[in-house]
Structure 1
Amino acid sequence: MRAIVLGLCTAMVLVVGTAGAQMPLPATKPPDGATLFKQQCAVCHTLNLSEPMRQGPPLTKVVGRPAGKAEGFKYSDALSKADFAWDEPRLDAWLTNPQAVVPGVVMAYRQAKPETRAAIIAYLKEQN
């Protein structure tokens, strides 16, 4: 009987010992810009000029486009008076906090994660 008890205790020690071991986590995949755009932006924005306007302007060819100047979209007074073109740093700042870039705008979306902003911006650049 003693041999069986010792055998069970040894087995329990082995199980407990391996349970505490740190297993490396698999590398995380970088966020996919197309998926993130669909999840976080497409509710208000489209990338297809043939689709009806949504709450926000179409983002087709937004990189390099003057802010507040998409044809057919009615911008807020604040954004229609903006005097810059959309580039990567400006888009990054915009996605972080639109009101800090153009006070008085109505866009409520904010994205705190730099990797998410970068993926969305890269995807928008691909659409140019």
Structure 2
Amino acid sequence: MSLEYALDGLFSVKSDVFSFGVLVLEIVSGKKSRGFYHPDHDLNLLGHAWRLWIEERPTELMDALMEKPVSTSELLKSIHVGLLCVQQQPEDRPTMSSVVMTLDSENPVLHQPKQPGFYRERFLTDRFIIHRKKVL
């Protein structure tokens, strides 16, 4: 669900782009966004993908069970597009037509994604999980 819809109830074609980006990252990672868990940190799937991207380790997002061989360039392009689709500001997200053209292109020119619009960190306290939204 896009940030603008979750917070303000505003929906647009860019909300669908956000959802598509989440779906792409779920497919690449083989993990659901909802209920995502990683033993090294408390980020959700978007935060995890972003962390790997900025640490220049995006290929580590790939599902280990993905059919081999996997084209590294196609994998990187998919992650890149997924991150562009989940930008905080709707105007920073690509249109679906440009997403389709990018995914179909051999050597697309892509700008660098910004940090995703929001991601959650989970903090365990006693026996409860407290969710904190990060809106940056």
TM-score normalised per structure 2: 0.28
> Comparing both structures, which one devotes a greater share of its residues to strand?
2
Which structure would you say has the larger Rg? 1
